[in-house]
Homo-oligomer: A and B are copies of this chain.
Protein backbone atom coordinates (compact mmCIF):
# COMPACT_ATOMS: atom_id res chain seq x y z
CA UNK A 1 0.00 0.00 0.00
CA UNK A 2 1.48 3.31 -1.02
CA UNK A 3 2.06 5.96 1.63
CA UNK A 4 -0.25 8.54 0.13
CA UNK A 5 -3.01 5.98 -0.29
CA UNK A 6 -2.98 5.05 3.40
CA UNK A 7 -5.34 7.93 4.06
CA UNK A 8 -7.99 6.08 2.05
CA UNK A 9 -8.17 3.48 4.79
CA UNK A 10 -10.55 5.15 7.20
CA UNK A 11 -10.44 2.58 9.97
CA UNK A 12 -6.95 1.15 10.53
CA UNK A 13 -6.18 -1.47 13.19
CA UNK A 14 -4.90 1.49 15.25
CA UNK A 15 -8.35 3.14 15.11
CA UNK A 16 -9.91 -0.05 16.48
CA UNK A 17 -7.29 -0.27 19.24
CA UNK A 18 -7.87 3.36 20.13
CA UNK A 19 -11.62 2.76 20.45
CA UNK A 20 -10.89 -0.22 22.71
CA UNK A 21 -8.50 1.84 24.86
CA UNK A 22 -10.92 4.79 25.21
CA UNK A 23 -13.69 2.38 26.17
CA UNK A 24 -11.56 0.59 28.74
CA UNK A 25 -10.48 3.91 30.29
CA UNK A 26 -14.04 5.27 30.32
CA UNK A 27 -13.10 8.34 28.25
CA UNK A 28 -16.63 8.59 26.91
CA UNK A 29 -16.50 12.05 25.37
CA UNK A 30 -13.40 11.30 23.29
CA UNK A 31 -14.97 8.00 22.25
CA UNK A 32 -18.14 9.80 21.11
CA UNK A 33 -16.10 12.30 19.12
CA UNK A 34 -14.01 9.58 17.48
CA UNK A 35 -17.06 7.53 16.43
CA UNK A 36 -18.90 10.63 15.24
CA UNK A 37 -15.96 11.46 12.95
CA UNK A 38 -16.31 8.13 11.10
CA UNK A 39 -18.52 7.35 8.11
CA UNK A 40 -21.25 4.72 8.40
CA UNK A 41 -18.92 2.10 6.91
CA UNK A 42 -16.21 3.15 9.37
CA UNK A 43 -18.53 2.77 12.36
CA UNK A 44 -19.60 -0.63 11.05
CA UNK A 45 -15.96 -1.76 10.73
CA UNK A 46 -15.25 -0.74 14.32
CA UNK A 47 -18.34 -2.59 15.62
CA UNK A 48 -17.33 -5.71 13.67
CA UNK A 49 -13.74 -5.78 14.84
CA UNK A 50 -14.11 -5.26 18.59
CA UNK A 51 -14.94 -8.14 20.96
CA UNK A 52 -18.54 -9.03 21.82
CA UNK A 53 -18.54 -7.36 25.29
CA UNK A 54 -16.90 -4.24 23.87
CA UNK A 55 -19.55 -4.07 21.15
CA UNK A 56 -22.34 -4.35 23.72
CA UNK A 57 -20.78 -1.53 25.73
CA UNK A 58 -20.39 0.66 22.63
CA UNK A 59 -23.99 0.13 21.59
CA UNK A 60 -25.31 0.88 25.09
CA UNK A 61 -23.22 4.05 25.19
CA UNK A 62 -23.83 5.41 21.70
CA UNK A 63 -27.11 3.96 20.52
CA UNK A 64 -28.76 7.25 19.65
CA UNK A 65 -25.61 8.53 17.93
CA UNK A 66 -24.72 5.65 15.64
CA UNK A 67 -25.29 6.33 11.96
CA UNK A 68 -28.41 4.32 10.99
CA UNK A 69 -26.62 3.26 7.79
CA UNK A 70 -23.83 1.76 9.92
CA UNK A 71 -26.27 -0.75 11.40
CA UNK A 72 -27.40 -1.79 7.90
CA UNK A 73 -23.78 -2.18 6.74
CA UNK A 74 -22.95 -4.61 9.57
CA UNK A 75 -22.35 -8.29 8.90
CA UNK A 76 -25.61 -10.16 9.55
CA UNK A 77 -24.45 -11.99 12.68
CA UNK A 78 -23.13 -8.77 14.23
CA UNK A 79 -26.26 -6.87 13.21
CA UNK A 80 -28.48 -9.40 14.95
CA UNK A 81 -26.41 -8.98 18.11
CA UNK A 82 -26.63 -5.20 17.96
CA UNK A 83 -30.41 -5.32 17.39
CA UNK A 84 -30.78 -7.54 20.46
CA UNK A 85 -29.32 -4.69 22.55
CA UNK A 86 -31.86 -2.19 21.19
CA UNK A 87 -35.54 -2.00 22.15
CA UNK A 88 -38.39 -1.51 19.66
CA UNK A 89 -38.35 2.28 20.04
CA UNK A 90 -34.61 2.45 19.27
CA UNK A 91 -34.98 0.20 16.23
CA UNK A 92 -37.95 2.21 14.97
CA UNK A 93 -35.89 5.40 15.29
CA UNK A 94 -33.16 3.82 13.16
CA UNK A 95 -35.63 2.45 10.56
CA UNK A 96 -37.26 5.88 10.30
CA UNK A 97 -33.98 7.37 9.05
CA UNK A 98 -33.43 4.70 6.39
CA UNK A 99 -34.59 4.13 2.81
CA UNK A 100 -37.33 1.51 2.55
CA UNK A 101 -34.98 -1.21 1.26
CA UNK A 102 -32.56 -0.74 4.14
CA UNK A 103 -35.37 -0.58 6.70
CA UNK A 104 -36.70 -3.87 5.33
CA UNK A 105 -33.23 -5.44 5.63
CA UNK A 106 -33.08 -4.28 9.23
CA UNK A 107 -36.48 -5.74 10.13
CA UNK A 108 -36.44 -8.96 8.12
CA UNK A 109 -34.60 -11.08 10.68
CA UNK A 110 -36.38 -9.78 13.78
CA UNK A 111 -38.72 -12.20 15.57
CA UNK A 112 -42.30 -11.72 14.34
CA UNK A 113 -43.56 -10.17 17.61
CA UNK A 114 -40.72 -7.65 17.83
CA UNK A 115 -41.08 -6.71 14.17
CA UNK A 116 -44.74 -5.87 14.81
CA UNK A 117 -43.75 -3.73 17.79
CA UNK A 118 -41.20 -1.81 15.72
CA UNK A 119 -43.63 -1.29 12.84
CA UNK A 120 -46.24 0.02 15.30
CA UNK A 121 -43.79 2.76 16.35
CA UNK A 122 -43.42 4.03 12.77
CA UNK A 123 -45.64 6.53 10.90
CA UNK A 124 -48.36 4.79 8.89
CA UNK A 125 -46.96 5.54 5.41
CA UNK A 126 -43.51 4.17 6.31
CA UNK A 127 -45.07 1.10 7.91
CA UNK A 128 -47.12 0.36 4.81
CA UNK A 129 -44.10 0.75 2.49
CA UNK A 130 -41.87 -1.48 4.61
CA UNK A 131 -44.57 -4.15 4.89
CA UNK A 132 -45.09 -4.02 1.11
CA UNK A 133 -41.35 -4.49 0.59
CA UNK A 134 -41.15 -7.38 3.07
CA UNK A 135 -43.99 -9.13 1.21
CA UNK A 136 -41.64 -9.72 -1.77
CA UNK A 137 -39.26 -12.72 -1.78
CA UNK A 138 -35.83 -12.03 -0.28
CA UNK A 139 -34.06 -12.68 -3.59
CA UNK A 140 -36.24 -10.30 -5.65
CA UNK A 141 -35.47 -6.99 -7.34
CA UNK A 142 -38.32 -5.44 -5.36
CA UNK A 143 -36.44 -6.02 -2.09
CA UNK A 144 -33.47 -4.07 -3.45
CA UNK A 145 -35.42 -1.00 -4.49
CA UNK A 146 -35.92 2.24 -2.65
CA UNK A 147 -39.15 4.18 -2.93
CA UNK A 148 -37.81 7.72 -2.93
CA UNK A 149 -37.25 8.85 -6.50
CA UNK A 150 -37.99 11.76 -8.81
CA UNK A 151 -41.05 11.03 -10.96
CA UNK A 152 -42.29 13.56 -13.52
CA UNK A 153 -45.34 13.60 -15.87
CA UNK A 154 -44.65 12.89 -19.53
CA UNK A 155 -46.18 16.16 -20.70
CA UNK A 156 -43.68 18.40 -18.85
CA UNK A 157 -40.81 20.35 -20.39
CA UNK A 158 -37.24 20.43 -19.11
CA UNK A 159 -37.95 23.83 -17.56
CA UNK A 160 -40.96 22.54 -15.64
CA UNK A 161 -38.95 19.60 -14.35
CA UNK A 162 -36.13 21.85 -13.14
CA UNK A 163 -38.57 24.19 -11.40
CA UNK A 164 -40.26 21.21 -9.76
CA UNK A 165 -36.90 19.94 -8.47
CA UNK A 166 -36.02 23.38 -7.05
CA UNK A 167 -39.36 23.58 -5.21
CA UNK A 168 -39.63 20.04 -3.85
CA UNK A 169 -38.01 20.05 -0.44
CA UNK A 170 -37.62 16.34 0.09
CA UNK A 171 -35.47 15.38 -2.90
CA UNK A 172 -32.47 13.24 -2.00
CA UNK A 173 -28.94 14.35 -3.04
CA UNK A 174 -28.16 11.12 -4.78
CA UNK A 175 -30.52 11.37 -7.71
CA UNK A 176 -28.91 10.41 -11.01
CA UNK A 177 -31.89 9.63 -13.19
CA UNK A 178 -35.43 10.99 -13.47
CA UNK A 179 -38.38 8.80 -14.31
CA UNK A 180 -41.07 9.92 -16.73
CA UNK A 181 -44.55 8.43 -16.16
CA UNK A 182 -47.85 8.69 -17.99
CA UNK A 183 -51.16 9.69 -16.42
CA UNK A 184 -51.69 6.12 -15.15
CA UNK A 185 -48.29 5.99 -13.40
CA UNK A 186 -46.82 3.75 -16.12
CA UNK A 187 -43.13 4.21 -16.82
CA UNK A 188 -42.53 6.07 -20.08
CA UNK A 189 -38.75 6.19 -19.76
CA UNK A 190 -35.69 7.28 -17.84
CA UNK A 191 -33.80 10.57 -18.29
CA UNK A 192 -30.20 11.00 -17.12
CA UNK A 193 -29.75 14.10 -15.01
CA UNK A 194 -26.62 15.09 -16.95
CA UNK A 195 -28.56 14.98 -20.20
CA UNK A 196 -31.34 17.15 -18.81
CA UNK A 197 -28.91 19.69 -17.39
CA UNK A 198 -27.47 20.52 -20.79
CA UNK A 199 -30.84 20.84 -22.56
CA UNK A 200 -32.80 24.06 -23.11
CA UNK A 201 -35.85 24.67 -20.94
CA UNK A 202 -38.60 24.44 -23.61
CA UNK A 203 -37.62 20.91 -24.77
CA UNK A 204 -40.21 18.22 -23.82
CA UNK A 205 -38.74 15.89 -21.21
CA UNK A 206 -39.95 12.88 -23.21
CA UNK A 207 -37.42 13.77 -25.93
CA UNK A 208 -34.57 13.03 -23.54
CA UNK A 209 -35.53 9.48 -22.61
CA UNK A 210 -32.48 7.18 -22.68
CA UNK A 211 -33.28 4.09 -24.78
CA UNK A 212 -30.45 2.11 -23.08
CA UNK A 213 -32.04 2.22 -19.64
CA UNK A 214 -34.63 -0.54 -19.44
CA UNK A 215 -36.80 -1.35 -16.49
CA UNK A 216 -36.56 -4.31 -14.14
CA UNK A 217 -39.62 -6.45 -13.36
CA UNK A 218 -40.22 -6.58 -9.58
CA UNK A 219 -39.81 -10.36 -9.61
CA UNK A 220 -36.34 -10.46 -11.24
CA UNK A 221 -33.65 -12.13 -9.12
CA UNK A 222 -30.75 -10.29 -7.52
CA UNK A 223 -28.32 -12.01 -9.89
CA UNK A 224 -30.32 -10.80 -12.89
CA UNK A 225 -30.30 -7.25 -11.53
CA UNK A 226 -26.52 -7.39 -11.09
CA UNK A 227 -26.06 -8.72 -14.63
CA UNK A 228 -28.18 -5.91 -16.09
CA UNK A 229 -26.31 -3.17 -14.21
CA UNK A 230 -22.99 -4.68 -15.31
CA UNK A 231 -23.94 -5.09 -18.95
CA UNK A 232 -25.50 -1.66 -19.34
CA UNK A 233 -23.18 0.26 -17.00
CA UNK A 234 -26.21 1.56 -15.10
CA UNK A 235 -26.17 3.81 -12.05
CA UNK A 236 -29.84 3.43 -11.24
CA UNK A 237 -32.69 1.50 -12.82
CA UNK A 238 -36.47 1.70 -12.38
CA UNK A 239 -38.48 -1.26 -11.06
CA UNK A 240 -41.95 -1.86 -12.52
CA UNK A 241 -44.82 -4.21 -11.75
CA UNK A 242 -46.68 -6.40 -14.26
CA UNK A 243 -48.60 -3.39 -15.57
CA UNK A 244 -45.39 -1.34 -16.06
CA UNK A 245 -46.32 0.90 -13.16
CA UNK A 246 -43.23 2.51 -11.59
CA UNK A 247 -42.67 1.01 -8.11
CA UNK A 248 -39.21 2.17 -7.10
CA UNK A 249 -35.61 2.47 -8.11
CA UNK A 250 -32.56 0.27 -7.57
CA UNK A 251 -29.33 2.16 -6.96
CA UNK A 252 -25.85 1.01 -7.98
CA UNK A 253 -24.49 0.99 -4.40
CA UNK A 254 -27.03 -1.67 -3.43
CA UNK A 255 -26.06 -3.63 -6.56
CA UNK A 256 -22.39 -3.44 -5.55
CA UNK A 257 -23.41 -5.04 -2.24
CA UNK A 258 -25.20 -7.80 -4.19
CA UNK A 259 -22.11 -8.39 -6.37
CA UNK A 260 -19.91 -8.59 -3.26
CA UNK A 261 -22.30 -10.97 -1.54
CA UNK A 262 -22.65 -13.28 -4.54
CA UNK A 263 -18.89 -13.44 -5.16
CA UNK A 264 -18.31 -13.98 -1.43
CA UNK A 265 -20.94 -16.73 -1.32
CA UNK A 266 -19.32 -18.51 -4.30
CA UNK A 267 -15.85 -18.30 -2.73
CA UNK A 268 -17.08 -19.60 0.64
CA UNK A 269 -19.25 -22.36 -0.86
CA UNK A 270 -16.43 -23.64 -3.06
CA UNK A 271 -14.37 -23.81 0.13
CA UNK A 272 -17.07 -25.82 1.90
CA UNK A 273 -18.36 -22.99 4.09
CA UNK A 274 -22.09 -22.47 3.72
CA UNK A 275 -22.38 -19.04 5.21
CA UNK A 276 -20.07 -16.22 6.24
CA UNK A 277 -19.24 -17.44 9.74
CA UNK A 278 -16.42 -15.05 10.60
CA UNK A 279 -18.46 -13.42 13.36
CA UNK A 280 -20.33 -16.47 14.69
CA UNK A 281 -19.38 -18.16 17.97
CA UNK A 282 -16.96 -21.15 17.84
CA UNK A 283 -19.70 -23.67 18.69
CA UNK A 284 -22.02 -22.28 16.03
CA UNK A 285 -19.22 -22.14 13.44
CA UNK A 286 -18.16 -25.71 14.27
CA UNK A 287 -21.75 -26.95 13.93
CA UNK A 288 -22.30 -25.24 10.58
CA UNK A 289 -19.05 -26.58 9.17
CA UNK A 290 -19.58 -30.09 10.55
CA UNK A 291 -22.29 -30.77 7.96
CA UNK A 292 -19.89 -30.30 5.10
CA UNK A 293 -17.20 -32.35 6.87
CA UNK A 294 -19.73 -35.15 7.38
CA UNK A 295 -20.40 -35.29 3.65
CA UNK A 296 -16.66 -35.35 3.04
CA UNK A 297 -16.25 -38.12 5.59
CA UNK A 298 -18.71 -40.21 3.62
CA UNK A 299 -16.61 -39.59 0.51
CA UNK A 300 -13.40 -40.50 2.30
CA UNK A 301 -14.98 -43.70 3.67
CA UNK A 302 -16.16 -44.63 0.16
CA UNK A 303 -12.57 -44.19 -1.05
CA UNK A 304 -11.33 -46.32 1.89
CA UNK A 305 -13.80 -48.99 0.95
CA UNK A 306 -12.24 -49.12 -2.52
CA UNK A 307 -8.79 -49.46 -0.96
CA UNK A 308 -10.15 -52.18 1.36
CA UNK A 309 -10.95 -54.31 -1.70
CA UNK A 310 -7.24 -54.42 -2.50
CA UNK A 311 -5.85 -55.25 0.96
CA UNK A 312 -4.32 -58.42 -0.45
CA UNK A 313 -2.42 -56.52 -3.14
CA UNK A 314 -1.16 -53.93 -0.65
CA UNK A 315 0.06 -56.68 1.69
CA UNK A 316 2.13 -58.11 -1.17
CA UNK A 317 3.38 -54.78 -2.60
CA UNK A 318 3.46 -52.17 0.16
CA UNK A 319 4.72 -49.57 -2.34
CA UNK A 320 1.12 -49.37 -3.57
CA UNK A 321 0.08 -47.82 -0.24
CA UNK A 322 2.91 -45.33 -0.50
CA UNK A 323 2.07 -44.24 -4.05
CA UNK A 324 -1.73 -44.39 -4.17
CA UNK A 325 -2.38 -40.99 -2.51
CA UNK A 326 -0.36 -39.30 -5.29
CA UNK A 327 -2.75 -40.50 -8.01
CA UNK A 328 -5.85 -39.49 -6.01
CA UNK A 329 -4.39 -36.12 -5.01
CA UNK A 330 -3.36 -35.12 -8.55
CA UNK A 331 -6.84 -36.01 -9.80
CA UNK A 332 -8.43 -33.97 -7.02
CA UNK A 333 -6.29 -30.92 -7.75
CA UNK A 334 -6.71 -31.01 -11.53
CA UNK A 335 -10.46 -31.49 -11.08
CA UNK A 336 -10.64 -28.57 -8.65
CA UNK A 337 -9.03 -26.33 -11.27
CA UNK A 338 -11.68 -27.37 -13.78
CA UNK A 339 -14.59 -27.02 -11.33
CA UNK A 340 -13.39 -23.57 -10.31
CA UNK A 341 -13.27 -22.28 -13.89
CA UNK A 342 -16.68 -23.84 -14.60
CA UNK A 343 -18.38 -22.43 -11.49
CA UNK A 344 -17.06 -18.91 -12.09
CA UNK A 345 -17.99 -19.03 -15.78
CA UNK A 346 -21.50 -20.24 -14.90
CA UNK A 347 -21.90 -17.47 -12.31
CA UNK A 348 -20.79 -14.80 -14.80
CA UNK A 349 -22.98 -16.16 -17.59
CA UNK A 350 -19.94 -17.06 -19.74
CA UNK A 351 -20.70 -20.77 -19.83
CA UNK A 352 -24.08 -21.48 -21.40
CA UNK A 353 -25.84 -24.08 -23.51
CA UNK A 354 -24.22 -22.41 -26.56
CA UNK A 355 -20.67 -23.36 -25.62
CA UNK A 356 -21.02 -26.12 -22.99
CA UNK A 357 -20.04 -28.97 -25.32
CA UNK A 358 -16.95 -27.12 -26.54
CA UNK A 359 -16.00 -26.41 -22.94
CA UNK A 360 -16.27 -30.07 -21.90
CA UNK A 361 -14.23 -31.17 -24.94
CA UNK A 362 -11.56 -28.58 -24.25
CA UNK A 363 -11.26 -29.51 -20.58
CA UNK A 364 -11.04 -33.22 -21.45
CA UNK A 365 -8.17 -32.37 -23.83
CA UNK A 366 -6.45 -30.34 -21.11
CA UNK A 367 -6.92 -33.26 -18.69
CA UNK A 368 -5.44 -35.67 -21.23
CA UNK A 369 -2.44 -33.43 -21.92
CA UNK A 370 -1.61 -32.88 -18.26
CA UNK A 371 -2.40 -36.54 -17.57
CA UNK A 372 0.30 -37.55 -20.08
CA UNK A 373 2.76 -35.01 -18.67
CA UNK A 374 2.40 -36.13 -15.05
CA UNK A 375 2.18 -39.79 -16.08
CA UNK A 376 5.65 -39.42 -17.64
CA UNK A 377 7.04 -37.60 -14.60
CA UNK A 378 5.67 -40.19 -12.13
CA UNK A 379 6.79 -43.15 -14.28
CA UNK A 380 10.36 -41.86 -14.25
CA UNK A 381 10.20 -41.08 -10.51
CA UNK A 382 8.81 -44.52 -9.62
CA UNK A 383 11.36 -46.38 -11.76
CA UNK A 384 14.10 -44.34 -10.09
CA UNK A 385 12.63 -44.90 -6.62
CA UNK A 386 11.58 -48.56 -6.77
CA UNK A 387 13.53 -49.75 -9.84
CA UNK A 388 10.37 -51.42 -11.19
CA UNK A 389 9.30 -50.32 -14.69
CA UNK A 390 6.01 -52.23 -14.47
CA UNK A 391 5.03 -50.26 -11.34
CA UNK A 392 5.99 -47.10 -13.27
CA UNK A 393 3.73 -48.11 -16.17
CA UNK A 394 0.83 -48.80 -13.82
CA UNK A 395 1.03 -45.42 -12.06
CA UNK A 396 1.35 -43.66 -15.45
CA UNK A 397 -1.79 -45.35 -16.81
CA UNK A 398 -3.71 -44.61 -13.61
CA UNK A 399 -2.63 -40.95 -13.75
CA UNK A 400 -3.97 -40.47 -17.29
CA UNK A 401 -7.26 -42.19 -16.37
CA UNK A 402 -7.74 -40.06 -13.29
CA UNK A 403 -6.91 -36.70 -14.88
CA UNK A 404 -9.32 -37.34 -17.77
CA UNK A 405 -11.99 -38.48 -15.29
CA UNK A 406 -11.29 -35.33 -13.25
CA UNK A 407 -11.80 -33.12 -16.32
CA UNK A 408 -15.07 -34.81 -17.25
CA UNK A 409 -16.38 -34.76 -13.68
CA UNK A 410 -15.13 -31.19 -13.20
CA UNK A 411 -17.21 -29.95 -16.14
CA UNK A 412 -20.24 -32.24 -16.20
CA UNK A 413 -20.97 -32.01 -12.45
CA UNK A 414 -21.31 -28.19 -12.22
CA UNK A 415 -23.13 -27.94 -15.57
CA UNK A 416 -25.51 -30.73 -14.50
CA UNK A 417 -26.15 -29.18 -11.08
CA UNK A 418 -26.90 -25.80 -12.68
CA UNK A 419 -29.39 -27.41 -15.08
CA UNK A 420 -31.03 -29.19 -12.16
CA UNK A 421 -31.48 -25.82 -10.48
CA UNK A 422 -28.87 -26.50 -7.78
CA UNK A 423 -26.16 -23.91 -7.07
CA UNK A 424 -23.01 -25.51 -8.54
CA UNK A 425 -20.75 -23.64 -6.10
CA UNK A 426 -22.26 -25.52 -3.16
CA UNK A 427 -21.76 -29.18 -3.95
CA UNK A 428 -19.58 -29.55 -7.04
CA UNK A 429 -16.34 -30.19 -5.16
CA UNK A 430 -17.66 -33.00 -2.97
CA UNK A 431 -19.00 -34.93 -5.97
CA UNK A 432 -15.74 -34.22 -7.77
CA UNK A 433 -13.47 -35.57 -5.04
CA UNK A 434 -15.65 -38.65 -4.73
CA UNK A 435 -14.97 -39.30 -8.42
CA UNK A 436 -11.25 -38.54 -8.30
CA UNK A 437 -10.65 -40.54 -5.11
CA UNK A 438 -12.62 -43.58 -6.27
CA UNK A 439 -11.25 -43.53 -9.83
CA UNK A 440 -7.72 -42.78 -8.57
CA UNK A 441 -7.59 -45.67 -6.09
CA UNK A 442 -9.54 -48.05 -8.32
CA UNK A 443 -7.42 -47.40 -11.43
CA UNK A 444 -4.10 -47.59 -9.61
CA UNK A 445 -4.82 -50.54 -7.31
CA UNK A 446 -6.89 -52.33 -9.97
CA UNK A 447 -4.23 -52.07 -12.66
CA UNK A 448 -1.56 -53.04 -10.14
CA UNK A 449 -3.51 -56.13 -9.08
CA UNK A 450 -4.08 -57.11 -12.69
CA UNK A 451 -0.54 -56.58 -14.02
CA UNK A 452 1.80 -56.95 -11.08
CA UNK A 453 0.42 -59.91 -9.12
Binding site for B on A (CB under 8 A): 1-2, 4-5, 7-10, 12-13, 16-17, 39, 41-42, 45, 48-49, 51, 75, 141, 162, 165-166, 168, 171-176, 192-195, 197-200, 210, 212, 214, 216-217, 219-221, 224, 227-235, 242, 252-253, 255-256, 259-260, 263-264, 266-268, 270-273, 276-278, 282-283, 285-286, 289-290, 292-293, 296-297, 299-301, 303-304, 307-308, 311, 314-315, 318-326, 328-330, 333-334, 336-337, 339-341, 343-345, 348-355, 358-359, 362, 365-366, 369-370, 373-374, 377-378, 381, 433, 437
Interchain CB contact under 8 A, B322 and A308: yes
The CA of A378 and the CA of B322, in the complex, are separated in Å by 22
Residues of B within 8 A of A51 (CB): 358
The CA of A362 and the CA of B279, in the complex, are separated in Å by 10
Interchain CB contact under 8 A, B267 and A340: yes
Interchain CB contact under 8 A, B200 and A174: no
Interchain CB contact under 8 A, B166 and A194: no
Interchain CB contact under 8 A, A13 and B256: no
* Cβ-neighbour of A193 out of B197, B285, B297 (below 8 A): B197
The CA of A319 and the CA of B315, in the complex, are separated in Å by 10
The CA of A302 and the CA of B252, in the complex, are separated in Å by 49
Interchain CB contact under 8 A, A354 and B194: no
Closest chain B CB from A277 CB (angstroms): 7
Interchain CB contact under 8 A, B377 and A297: yes
The CA of A413 and the CA of B17, in the complex, are separated in Å by 24
Smallest CB-CB separation from A311: which chain B residue?
A: B318
Interchain CB contact under 8 A, B168 and A370: no
Smallest CB-CB separation from A281: which chain B residue?
A: B362
Given contacts A260-B259, A307-B325, A321-B314, contact A337 B273 (CB under 8 A): yes
Interchain CB contact under 8 A, B5 and A217: yes
Smallest CB-CB separation from A20: which chain B residue?
A: B354
The CA of A232 and the CA of B43, in the complex, are separated in Å by 12
Residues of B within 8 A of A234 (CB): 253
Residues of B within 8 A of A299 (CB): 329
* Cβ-neighbour of A297 out of B268, B282, B326, B328 (below 8 A): B326
Interchain CB contact under 8 A, A176 and B235: yes
* Cβ-neighbour of A333 out of B8, B272, B337, B351 (below 8 A): B272
Interchain CB contact under 8 A, A16 and B229: no
Q: A51-B358, A268-B340 are in contact. List 7 more A-B contacts (CB 8 A).
A: A2-B220, A9-B227, A230-B260, A260-B263, A268-B344, A303-B325, A304-B326
The CA of A10 and the CA of B282, in the complex, are separated in Å by 45
Closest chain B CB from A253 CB (angstroms): 4
The CA of A232 and the CA of B45, in the complex, are separated in Å by 13
Residues of B within 8 A of A171 (CB): 194, 198
* Cβ-neighbour of A200 out of B49, B166, B362 (below 8 A): B166
Residues of B within 8 A of A227 (CB): 8-9
Interchain CB contact under 8 A, B231 and A41: yes
Residues of B within 8 A of A358 (CB): 51
